[in-house]
Amino acid sequence: MANKHHSAQGAAAAATLAPKASVESALGQAKTPEKFCAALAKLFGVRVTEVAMLRHEKGLLKFVFPAQLKTAGAIPVSSSSAVASHTASAKKIELFNSFAKVKHARVFESVKLTTNEESDQSDQSTIQKLISAPVLGPANQVLGVIQVCRKGFDLGSAGRDFTLEDLQQLEVAAMVAAKHEFMQIQ
């Protein structure tokens, strides 16, 4: 009986490690923010314009990706209305499957984020669901924040809800990002 218990524990541990290993291998080779976010979009089944990466620089969160947001401004880590700053200051992963109801700064949502593959129609949609994770350095300092969202005209058109497994995968992705040079504090 003990052997069955140990093999069940081993199988459960292997099942937990397998997604982590696949996330690490999918993102470990992505040496630029663009490649990293494209791999993250593929991992979560979202458009590349539904992934954001911000780096912490002198009390501000500055967009590293998408490129269109690099010049749109920065978010003070002390901001009370930005989810990214809350993620950074709390140093905790967050999940919002009804994001449109969450009080948040909407200024960056007004910036057009289309790629060649996407139609202008996607610009009219808004963030409906979001997961957010801090990128932490070895001394637990905030290097930045990674966010993945699902946009739509309403909750139903935005696709499936994010799950706790998605949140765990994003947490692993943030750990991988912390090792990349592009996330190091400038």
Q: Which of 118, 115, 54 is nearest to 88 (CA)?
A: 54
The closest alpha carbon to 37, from 58, 57, 53, 60, belongs to 53
Query: Which DSSP string corresponds to 52-94?
Result: EEEEEETTEEEEEESGGGTTS-EEETT-SS-HHHHHHHHT--E
What per-residue confidence (pLDDT) applies to 67? 84
Q: Nearest 5°: CA angle at 166, between 104 and 174?
A: 75
In whole angstroms, what is the distance from residue 75 CA to residue 84 CA? 8
Q: Could you give the angle at the alpha carbon of 40 between the alpha carbons of 37 and 45, nearest 5°?
A: 125
Question: pLDDT 10s digit of each residue in the chain, 186 long?
Answer: 444 444 444 433 333 444 667 778 778 888 899 999 999 999 999 999 999 999 999 999 999 998 888 887 788 999 888 899 999 999 999 999 999 887 655 444 544 555 544 444 445 688 899 999 999 999 999 999 999 999 999 888 999 999 999 999 999 999 999 999 999 876
Q: Which domains does the chain have, with CATH numbers?
A: 2-183 (3.30.450.40)
Q: What is the pLDDT of residue 177?
A: 95
First-to-last C-alpha distance (Å) of the chain: 56
Q: Identify the pLDDT of residue 9.
A: 41
